[in-house]
Structure 1
């Protein structure tokens, strides 16, 4: 049987990984390469056995560090023009175009119009999420055009789907919800809890306004007023790091907080394994793959109601601004081992149904939905 050919346009992929999108693309392709022939377009060199990679010359831009000036958009537009030129010059054949997030949307649309091939766009987040409700119109307009032009949209949660419908007018009938997955070998609750003689509350992610780590810092004095045997680990880098460190001093909790900065994969997994509680109080988080990773190691997730991963794991949910409830839930988990064990066991069961092979099969089904190659 002839495999479907997919042109996948991305911008984040190991070793250049800054968030969940890089994890998604890597894990998805490990499984998808067994089902379809993939040509992966990136602005840098990368390799994975079983797929073809196409490097399109571009200056690597981390959008989470870039200043939102016209030169930033100009770089992205040049990348998209170069994608179209390179794909056509190399006469690459494909049946479906699959774009991840906004940075490749314009190339995907142009190639759709030039070749007549269907366009699938996965939205991992939107400018409304990243800019904390104040989107830059130049990026917002690209995303809006992508929603209009896509033959099928993949949303990583119902939360993401609803946002695309409400903010961009997406037709709900052409939005398929396909959740992120987790590798079976990652589902390994370990008994490192209590390793440091204190309960561990972990935040792991970028230190940005979207992730709202400030809320956890402000909840710390409320937790410490009830019990002192708690250490708060804030793992990750970002522009808010110096300010958050100052805030911990201002609130008188600096001796109970560790700021690690950016961590390696091994360090990340170790932190998950020692954490009793994992907190993600994001202002807006269409999914939040770290929630799955933490739950897989036995940490109990406490997340804001605007985190999409709550649709797939057993988590305690709070309003992103409610530091009192956040502290109450942290104490509730720490003070009730039976609750902690129940949620841990429940998540192991739920996560076992979220393999990346399942995600890949759902993505293939999405390709077939828009492709004329129904028999592949």
Structure 2
């Protein structure tokens, strides 16, 4: 069977269009890891895939830059198309106070939600250090994998199947990821009315309005402190419809995303 066009979303050399949601070299550099056998195999496979593809669809401009810097890809064959967002939202008549009681959270604290199943990559050590130095007025709410050991000013709520409501119960969502090519948590949080405080290297910051986000340098603890101090002085509050804080070009459906990829591949010389 002959196909008109093939699209790869994984390590499948030979596709005409490759969707890049992250690079292995970028990941290793961000995590400060030296390559082992599997890493070298993965990087070699990526190079073959990228060299053979007619068009590479980067899921954020930061991925486009990695492809140029780390793999030497001709920028003419790279285009940025943000991944189609399937955002889980949930309308509720419950107030934030009622939602906090539902999740057994205090109503008199500023709550920073940290959804994570990969704490080291998501920046938990940096966040833990900040919140442990606090006076208890600000709490880190961990959803997902439990943190190890005792953590002052941190509450663990477990794996949550009501994430839209948990977003709404908290003041902010926070991530300090060392490597986060896009980060669906960002648009999910904003779409549920909760602004974000994110590392400036996180890809989804490109599609979130500045009125709904504050960013910081994940390599600088003082930068995190300054960002949270900024929020204390000028808290962020979002008003519906919350999709107004997300770039329209990020709200395409899967079908529209594929159709645009097919249109752009025809423009590549």
Normalised by the shorter chain, which TM-score bucket?
A: 0.7 to 0.9
**2:159 maps to what in 1?**
262
Q: CA deviation at 1:272?
A: 1.1
Structure 1, unaligned runs of 5 or more: 1-90, 113-118
**Residues of 2 paired with 1:316 and 1:331: CA distance?**
11
**Residues of 1 paired with 2:86 and 2:22: CA distance?**
22
How many residue pairs were aligned?
249
Structure 1 segment 205-284 matched on structure 2, within 5 A: 205-222=116-133, 224-225=134-135, 228-237=136-145, 241=146, 244-246=147-149, 248=151, 253=152, 256-264=153-161, 267-284=162-179
Within the candidate set 55, 60, 64, 1:161 is matched to 64
Q: State whether residues 245 and 259 of structure 1, in contact with CA within 8 Å, keep that contact through their aligned partners in structure 2.
A: no
SS at match of 1:317: strand
Structure 2, unaligned runs of 5 or more: 101-105
TM-score w.r.t. the length of structure 2 is 0.80
**Residues of 1 paired with 2:242 and 2:26: CA distance?**
26
SS at match of 2:148: helix
**Residues of 1 paired with 2:92 and 2:174: CA distance?**
17
The change in CA–CA distance for 1:148 and 1:269 in structure 2 (over 3 A counts) is same
The change in CA–CA distance for 1:297 and 1:166 in structure 2 (over 3 A counts) is same
Which structure shows the higher helix fraction?
1
1:155-200 Cα deviation digits (max 9, x unpaired): 0110010011101111111111011343587396987434341321
Q: CA deviation at 1:120?
A: 0.8
Q: State whether residues 84 and 257 of structure 2, in contact with CA within 8 Å, keep that contact through their aligned partners in structure 1.
A: no
Larger Rg: 1
Q: Which moved more, 1:205-214 or 1:143-152?
A: 205-214
2:110 aligned with 1:199, yes or no?
yes
**Residues of 2 paired with 1:234 and 1:185: CA distance?**
19
**Residues of 2 paired with 1:302 and 1:356: CA distance?**
24
SS at match of 2:149: helix
**Residues of 2 paired with 1:214 and 1:141: CA distance?**
32
The change in CA–CA distance for 1:307 and 1:170 in structure 2 (over 3 A counts) is same
**Residues of 2 paired with 1:151 and 1:190: CA distance?**
50
TM-score w.r.t. the length of structure 1 is 0.59
**Residues of 2 paired with 1:325 and 1:129: CA distance?**
22
**1:340 maps to what in 2?**
236
The CA RMSD measured in Å over matched residues stands at 2.8
2:88 aligned with 1:179, yes or no?
no
